[in-house]
Amino acid sequence: MRYRLTLAYGSKSSAVSEWDQYMGASDVSAHEDAASPYRHADRVKAPVLLVHSENDTTVPIEQSEIEQSALQKAGKQVEFDRLAGDDHYLHEEKARMQLLAEVERFLKAHIGN
């Protein structure tokens, strides 16, 4: 399956702009699409915690939404935590603290203290 990179990764992504400008390609090959994690949700054996910043322009939040949906459809245990107001690099202390608290809670729930 071939599709426009902007549909898969979001037209706001700086990565898409770089790819289009410098590589001159805007399609993802069938091989790359086949390797995408959402295509292999049925193979997941452990609970998954997805954490994504809502203002991430490097990797649009839709990528985590796609993965969450694929994992749910495959009957896998998945949690999705959205970090409000921050970007891909977690520059804001509040977002970093939220991330660490969520990871700690998730690990305690799934592997104990």
Kindly report, residue by residue over 66-112, the tens digit of the pLDDT. 999 999 999 999 999 999 989 999 999 999 999 999 999 999 999 98
Mean pLDDT to the nearest integer, 49-56:
96
Does this model's pTM top 0.85? no
Measured in degrees and rounded to the nearest 5, phi and psi for residue 34 equal -65, -30
Q: How far is 23 from 25, CA to CA, in rounded Å?
A: 5
Which residue is listed with tokens 């939404």?
65
pLDDT at 4: 42
Mean pLDDT to the nearest integer, 44-50:
98
Query: Which pair of structure tokens corresponds to residue 72?
Result: 């749910």
Q: What is the bridge-based pairing of β-strands 78-83 and 48-53?
A: parallel
pLDDT at 1: 33
Classify residue 92 as left (phi > 0), alpha (psi -120 to 50) or beta.
Answer: beta
Determine what percent of the chain is predicted with pLDDT higher than 70.
74
Write down all domains in the chain, each with its CATH number in brackets. Answer: 1-35 (no CATH), 37-113 (3.40.50.1820)
